[in-house]
Amino acid sequence: MPYQAPTGTADLLPEQAWRWDAIQRQAASVFSRYGYQLIDTPIFEQLDVFVRGIGEATDVVGKEMYLAFSQHAVEAIAAGQAPKAKDTLALRPEQTAGVARAVVQHNLVPPGGAAIKLWYAGSMFRHERPQKGRLREFHQIGTECLGAAEPSADAEVILMLMDFFEGLGIPRASMRLLVNSMGDDACRPAYRQVVREFILAHADGLCPECVRRADSNPLRAFDCKNPDCQAVLAAAPLITDSLCPQCAEHYATVRQLLTEAGCDFEQAPRLVRGLDYYTRTVFEVQVTDGLGSQNAIGGGGRYDKLLAEFGGKPTPGLGFAVGFERICLALDAAGVAAPVLPLPEVFVAAVDTQARAAAFALAGQLRSAGLRAELDHQNRSLKSQLKAADKSGASWVAILGPDELAAGQLTLRHLASHEEQRTTTQQAIELIRGER
Ligand code: AMP
């Protein structure tokens, strides 16, 4: 095989592509009930958008970005010229930064205006070590709500996420909803300092990566998968003990609203989202079987400082992203079948060469009537066409030969019952529709 899809990518063959489409349709249906509208932003942005929006100290920006240069920019670099910032592009590793950039650019949340609710779906790119449920090109669906500071917005987003997952068929009992508050500018800096000191004081028992993070991004140490680090960090001070009164109250209201809505959750005081922009509420949904270590199927939180990073007015925001590939693993583990590909309803067969043009025209009429119609383009014999009809999954075959053409009719055969009848095109359309 001369060429293979790049490492860490996967072709979405029709069955998988159809599942991706079905999940997006489910997202559109659930999210619209909560007032969300679809947005699409470019697959690449200026690198700075991600550096600002995600943070230089994150793995995503520091280690996992795919840069994208035009041929023109490459030639300039080769000639020793530094590329301009606007020519230094990167493939998006997530879409929140792009959406935030678009919201500021188009002034979608004017001061004093209503909150805006947006959702997106598409490919994201991160240069990670590929494994089950972790790819370099993967697909996310996400939502962003901008302009709403109240804790009811946080609770609503979390309930919508659970609604979405349950609607897909992931059993509620196999999902764990983890929530935490990461504080804000008033209380997080002091907590970061406390964790930094804790890491430095326990450096002997921690991996070099965690120690390195002490200065750049100490809270990320909680994400370390190394069991020795986890054991040491289990004794670290908790953010929930350091929240300022405003953050504590906000978090308490989110929990109260979730409880009142009958939504089970666990408080996870060591849950920190990897991206720098989160403030206050963070959450993650994990599934308890089928995914191994990559068990997070979605997560998100509040990011009240992000829009200001892009030159907008300070505007509260919150959202989540869910990963399509991991949702598929969770659905497979739950025994939820992938949606069946749309099969042809009727196969048009020509008895001889003379009838081919009429068969072609008939397929056109059936399609115009809204039916899924298929026909042979490989000059096969009638026998082979009938075999192909059977294989295609169609329920009906419309047969055209000299007799039918002379009578201005067709023979409609029902494949399951083998019953046959002579009909007009209109009668055939009604019969086929009747069986849907
Ligand atoms: P994040 O953008 O890192 O908060 O991730 C949100 C969700 O995207 C995760 O819960 C996963 O379901 C999915 N995800 C993140 N990174 C990957 C990846 N490399 N491969 C597949 N899915 C991913």
Looking at the structure, tell me whether residues 147 and 278 fall in a common domain.
Answer: yes
Looking at the structure, tell me whether residues 166 and 280 fall in a common domain.
Answer: yes
Tokens (6 digits) for 295: 């068990």
Q: Is residue 365 domain-resident? A: yes
Looking at the structure, tell me whether residues 30 and 169 fall in a common domain.
Answer: yes
Looking at the structure, tell me whether residues 280 and 415 fall in a common domain.
Answer: no
How far CA 336 is from CA of 170, 217, 362, in Å, comes to 8, 39, 38
Q: Is residue 233 domain-resident? A: no
Question: Would you say the CB of residue 127 lies under 6 angstroms from ligand 1?
Answer: no
307 Cβ contact list (under 8 Å, min separation 6)? 100, 103, 104, 109, 146, 313, 314, 315, 317
* Residues 224 and 207 sit within 8 Å (Cβ to Cβ): yes
Residue 38 sits in a domain whose CATH number is: 3.30.930.10
pLDDT, residue 83, reads 85
254 Cβ contact list (under 8 Å, min separation 6)? 151, 154, 155, 158, 179, 181, 281
Residue 134 Cα to ligand 1 midpoint, Å, equals 7
Q: Whose CA is nearest to atom 18 of ligand 1?
A: 134
Looking at the structure, tell me whether residues 152 and 67 fall in a common domain.
Answer: yes
Looking at the structure, tell me whether residues 281 and 416 fall in a common domain.
Answer: no
Q: Whose CA is nearest to atom 10 of ligand 1?
A: 298
Q: Whose CA is nearest to atom 13 of ligand 1?
A: 323
* Residues 221 and 170 sit within 8 Å (Cβ to Cβ): no
Looking at the structure, tell me whether residues 122 and 144 fall in a common domain.
Answer: yes
pLDDT, residue 274, reads 65
Q: What is the Cβ-side half-sphere exposure of residue 327, based on CA atoms within 13 angstroms?
A: 27
Q: Whose CA is nearest to atom 14 of ligand 1?
A: 323
Q: Is residue 302 domain-resident? A: yes
Which residue, among 267, 273, 252, has the nearest Cα to 318 in the 3D structure?
A: 273
Q: Is residue 422 domain-resident? A: yes
Residue 424 Cα to ligand 1 midpoint, Å, equals 54
Residue 369 has a CB neighbour count (10 Å cut-off) of 15
Residue 118 Cα to ligand 1 midpoint, Å, equals 19
Tally of structural domains, the chain: 2
Looking at the structure, tell me whether residues 18 and 160 fall in a common domain.
Answer: yes
Distance CA 58, CA 46 (A): 17
pLDDT, residue 85, reads 86
Looking at the structure, tell me whether residues 423 and 282 fall in a common domain.
Answer: no
- Ligand 1 atom showing the smallest separation from residue 327 Cα: 12
Residue 432 Cα to ligand 1 midpoint, Å, equals 44
Distance CA 139, CA 404 (A): 50
Which residue, among 432, 367, 434, has the nearest Cα to 397 in the 3D structure?
A: 432
Residue 140 Cα to ligand 1 midpoint, Å, equals 7
Q: Whose CA is nearest to atom 17 of ligand 1?
A: 134
Question: Would you say the CB of residue 329 lies under 6 angstroms from ligand 1?
Answer: no
Looking at the structure, tell me whether residues 280 and 328 fall in a common domain.
Answer: yes
Residue-range definition of the domain harbouring residue 120 = 14-173+274-333
285 Cβ contact list (under 8 Å, min separation 6)? 161, 162, 165, 175, 176, 177, 178, 296, 297, 298, 299, 322
Looking at the structure, tell me whether residues 352 and 315 fall in a common domain.
Answer: no
Q: Is residue 237 domain-resident? A: no
Residue 61 CA to its chain's centroid (Å): 20
Dihedral angle of Cα 412, 414, 420, 422, to the nearest 10 degrees: -20
Residue 358 sits in a domain whose CATH number is: 3.40.50.800
Q: Whose CA is nearest to atom 21 of ligand 1?
A: 134
pLDDT, residue 337, reads 94
3-state DSSP helix/strand/coil percent for the chain, to nearest 5? 45, 20, 35
- Ligand 1 atom showing the smallest separation from residue 140 Cα: 8
Residue 40 Cα to ligand 1 midpoint, Å, equals 19
Q: Whose CA is nearest to atom 3 of ligand 1?
A: 274
- Match 């793995």 to its residue by tokens: 59
**C-alpha torsion sign, points 329, 335, 339, 343:** positive
**C-alpha torsion sign, points 250, 255, 260, 263:** positive
pLDDT, residue 86, reads 87
Dihedral angle of Cα 374, 377, 378, 384, to the nearest 10 degrees: 30
- Ligand 1 atom showing the smallest separation from residue 285 Cα: 10
Residue 344 Cα to ligand 1 midpoint, Å, equals 36
Q: Whose CA is nearest to atom 11 of ligand 1?
A: 323
Residue 69 Cα to ligand 1 midpoint, Å, equals 25
Question: Would you say the CB of residue 326 lies under 6 angstroms from ligand 1?
Answer: yes
Residue 97 Cα to ligand 1 midpoint, Å, equals 15
Q: Is residue 72 domain-resident? A: yes
Looking at the structure, tell me whether residues 284 and 426 fall in a common domain.
Answer: no
Q: Is residue 292 domain-resident? A: yes
Residues of the chain where predicted confidence (pLDDT) is lower than 50: none
Question: Would you say the CB of residue 135 lies under 6 angstroms from ligand 1?
Answer: yes
Ligand 1 pocket test, candidate residues 144, 286, 325, 327, most atoms within 8 A of CB: 325
Question: Would you say the CB of residue 140 lies under 6 angstroms from ligand 1?
Answer: yes
Q: Is residue 20 domain-resident? A: yes
Residue 133 has a CB neighbour count (10 Å cut-off) of 21
